[in-house]
Amino acid sequence: MPLPVILQEITQNSFGDLVTSYKETFKEDPSIEQKNAWKKLLEIFNTLNTPHPIIMEYPIFTDRVDAIFVDESKALILEAKGWKQARRKDDITVESDGELRLDPCYQLNNYVTKMNTFHSSGIRFEGALFLYNTNDYSSSECEVLRNPNDLKVKLKNYSPRSRQDVDKIVNGKFVLTTDFVKFLAETKNFLQQSIAKAILPYGYGLTEEQGLILSKVLNVLEDRASNKNFLVRGGSGSGKSLLAITLFLETLSRGYFTILSYKNQRLLNSIKLSLTGLSLNKTNDRDKVQALSQFIMFYSTGFGFGVGESNFSDWFKEKFGDEKIDLVVYDEAQRMTTNVIKNSPRGRVNVYFFDDFQTLIGNEEGTEENFRRHLINVEEYQLSSSIRVPNDYLNAVKSILDGKMVRIKDYDLRLFDDIISMLNELRKRKEEGRKVALICSFTESEGDTKNKTEWNLKNMRIGYPLQSGFDLYKNVNIRIKWLMDEKVEYPKYWRGELDPLGYCASVYGAQGFEADYVGVVWGRDMIWRDSWTVDPSPITDYVGGGNSLSKIAKRDKDRALKLLKNRYYVMLTRGIRGVYIFFEDYQTGEKMKQLINV
């Protein structure tokens, strides 16, 4: 069985059970340090002779809780450290035995808050830090236990329970209760403190992976002589945007000149609006209050003054004078062209968040290989797991896109034979208080870029007639419009201020966003005919000119197929709780029913 391990009592087999479950979970042996830590902890637990069932190595997104002691309606999360020495480095990290680590109280409080905020068990979680090998570390931010007797006394507050109470936790699920853009808007007034700590009470505390990256960037910034480029790779929902925003706000609050940069106009405008009203008291020779939104910029505009474009230096000097850029944070950096990559090191320190699986058009070349080729002094990190959706679901999506059979569990994936049934189910989720959204393949109608808000033929994506002549919806009384207005419609839509089922986003408007439940209209662009194949005829995506999907699909179907798989990967991973799919191509829908066992 994979982790966690449930111990009714400590036996000679307990250590072996931990090793076996770790191997099954991670497909590798635990380190010597991890084995020694387990041996010591099991030895201590054995001396307590506690009647409580213990959950060990319980996964919380990318991290694992050392131990949970279970009561009927509450549980104690124990974060145990065998460090010999620990010295605080900054707000969220310490140096322990020569290594940089996440501050243990921050780590513990993050676990407790995430369990209380996002876990489905309904149990109230409390926490204690167990430092059984050092007196170096102290903190007022969590309860610290220093010896087995302290732990024994603490456990007297928790009555012994049965395996049934353990199962409430082990069989429970993590479900994010608010999306990231909404979270920013609701908590922005608290974000002028220590940012990493300010987001902690809301369940958005940084994982150890994220916290260590933040600390390393801050350390390089403190050394004014240092220059470095950080590459941070992460899959869909791995927390890239959370860390990017945290870096941006944390460094601005410390007085560094920081730019947060995107290509996606829809995402950029939504982030700007979420932070509306926040300003930065920045003391320099001009001594002025500066709105945070002016530090959020495009890295590519097509007009030469994006952060990664040739005329940026002149534009920047005109706007900011001789100000020196300390840090540029690039989110969605996989969408960079080669020229943008070459021009992008504008700060002393530059951080690139990217995912190779999310390139969308032909000239997007933000891959690990290209970053390494064109940047110097590079340091690389990986965000290893998804926070938004289960890793098993992400892997299943990749397998589906490879034409392989999958089994979906612990995630609400549904396939629909008609669009009305899908919309009705999404409407039910909305009535239950869930945030819903609709995403459509970029087919059938191109969108009217000159009349973005009008309900005309070009802007109509679902209904009859359609620009392409596709008549699937001829006898269906429904009209759904493309989201077109990047500055008004898109931010309102993803904040829940527009009818979520009266509009639909393209993949460009979905990247970087999320909702509890997402309806996906799978178009006639990528269809199943004995294998996945591309049909260029319904594709109406002309973004990128000669590098657009429409052009590529006509001259290089293999390249188009790769881009379409990336697009459906993005579209199918926007739902926090579930994704509902309707197929405009009947044969594709029937094949998907064969591939997917829900």
H-helix or E-strand containing 75?
strand 74-81
Query: Which CA distances in Å does 128 have to 143, 272, 388, 585?
Result: 5, 38, 27, 55
Q: Please tell me whether residues 37 and 57 are part of one structural domain.
A: yes
- The residue ranking higher by pLDDT, 274 or 517, is 517
| Residues 3 and 57 sit within 8 Å (Cβ to Cβ) | yes
Domain boundary pick from 119, 145, 171: 171
Residue 518 has pLDDT above 90, yes or no: yes
Across the chain, mean pLDDT equals 89
Mean pLDDT value of segment 385-397: 84
Query: Which CA distances in Å does 328 have to 227, 258, 304, 368?
Result: 12, 6, 18, 18
Model confidence pLDDT, tens digit, residues 47-81 = 988 788 899 999 887 789 999 998 888 999 999 99
- The residue ranking higher by pLDDT, 176 or 470, is 470
Give the pair of three-digit tokens for residue 303: 């007009």
- Please give the Cα distance from 286 to 319 (Å, whole number): 13
Q: Please tell me whether residues 327 and 372 are part of one structural domain.
A: yes
- Please give the Cα distance from 342 to 334 (Å, whole number): 14
- Please give the Cα distance from 367 to 548 (Å, whole number): 19
Q: Report the pLDDT value the prediction gives residue 416, as an integer from 0 to 100.
A: 97
Closest C-alpha among 521, 567, 513 to residue 401: 567
- Please give the Cα distance from 406 to 398 (Å, whole number): 10
Model confidence pLDDT, tens digit, residues 114-160 = 999 888 888 999 999 999 998 889 899 999 999 999 999 999 998 87
Q: Report the pLDDT value the prediction gives residue 287, as an integer from 0 to 100.
A: 35
Q: Please tell me whether residues 377 and 396 are part of one structural domain.
A: no
Q: Report the pLDDT value the prediction gives residue 184, as an integer from 0 to 100.
A: 63
Residue 187 has pLDDT above 70, yes or no: no
Q: Report the pLDDT value the prediction gives residue 514, as an integer from 0 to 100.
A: 81
Residue 360 has pLDDT above 70, yes or no: yes
B/e letters for 469-508, b = 16+ CB within 10 Å, e = fewer, are ebebbeeeeeebbbbbebebbbbbbbbbebebbebbbbbb
Residue 283 has pLDDT above 50, yes or no: no
Return the percent helix, strand and coil in the chain, to nearest 5: 35, 25, 40
H-helix or E-strand containing 438?
strand 436-440
- Please give the Cα distance from 368 to 349 (Å, whole number): 18
Mean pLDDT value of segment 423-434: 94
| Residues 242 and 399 sit within 8 Å (Cβ to Cβ) | no
Q: Please tell me whether residues 91 and 133 are part of one structural domain.
A: yes
- Please give the Cα distance from 510 to 504 (Å, whole number): 9
- Indicate the number of domains in the chain: 3
Q: Is 88 helix (H, G, I), strand (E, B) or coil?
A: strand
Q: Please tell me whether residues 21 and 146 are part of one structural domain.
A: yes
Q: Report the pLDDT value the prediction gives residue 196, as an integer from 0 to 100.
A: 80
Domain boundary pick from 117, 145, 171: 171
Q: Please tell me whether residues 223 and 244 are part of one structural domain.
A: yes
Q: Is 112 helix (H, G, I), strand (E, B) or coil?
A: helix
B/e letters for 554-575, b = 16+ CB within 10 Å, e = fewer, are eeeeeebbbbbbbbbbbbbbbb
- Non-local CB neighbours of 534 within 8 Å, separated by 6+ positions: 525, 526, 527, 553, 557, 560, 561, 564
CATH number at residue 123: 3.40.1350
* pLDDT bucket at 179, cuts 50 / 70 / 90: low
Q: Report the pLDDT value the prediction gives residue 200, as an integer from 0 to 100.
A: 81
- Please give the Cα distance from 212 to 218 (Å, whole number): 10
Q: Please tell me whether residues 361 and 486 are part of one structural domain.
A: no
* pLDDT bucket at 289, cuts 50 / 70 / 90: very low
- Please give the Cα distance from 405 to 543 (Å, whole number): 33
Q: Please tell me whether residues 438 and 557 are part of one structural domain.
A: yes
Q: Report the pLDDT value the prediction gives residue 286, as an integer from 0 to 100.
A: 33
Tokens 């869909």, located at residue: 236
Mean pLDDT value of segment 37-45: 95
* pLDDT bucket at 28, cuts 50 / 70 / 90: confident
- Please give the Cα distance from 455 to 481 (Å, whole number): 7
Q: Please tell me whether residues 120 and 229 are part of one structural domain.
A: no
Q: Report the pLDDT value the prediction gives residue 122, as an integer from 0 to 100.
A: 87
Domain of 77 in residue numbering reads as 5-171
Which residue stretches of 302-337 are H helix? 312-320
DSSP 305: -
- Non-local CB neighbours of 486 within 8 Å, separated by 6+ positions: 265, 266, 269
- Please give the Cα distance from 333 to 221 (Å, whole number): 21
Q: Please tell me whether residues 193 and 167 are part of one structural domain.
A: no
H-helix or E-strand containing 219?
helix 208-222
Return the ∠ at Cα 350 (arms to 349 and 353), rounded to 5°: 145
Mean pLDDT value of segment 275-296: 56
Give the pair of three-digit tokens for residue 76: 């104690």
Q: Does the global pTM surpass 0.85?
A: no
Residue 267 has pLDDT above 70, yes or no: no
Q: Please tell me whether residues 63 and 124 are part of one structural domain.
A: yes
CATH number at residue 261: 3.40.50.300
Q: How many residues does the chain have?
A: 598
Q: Please tell me whether residues 130 and 51 are part of one structural domain.
A: yes
Domain boundary pick from 146, 171, 196: 171
End-to-end CA distance of the chain: 21
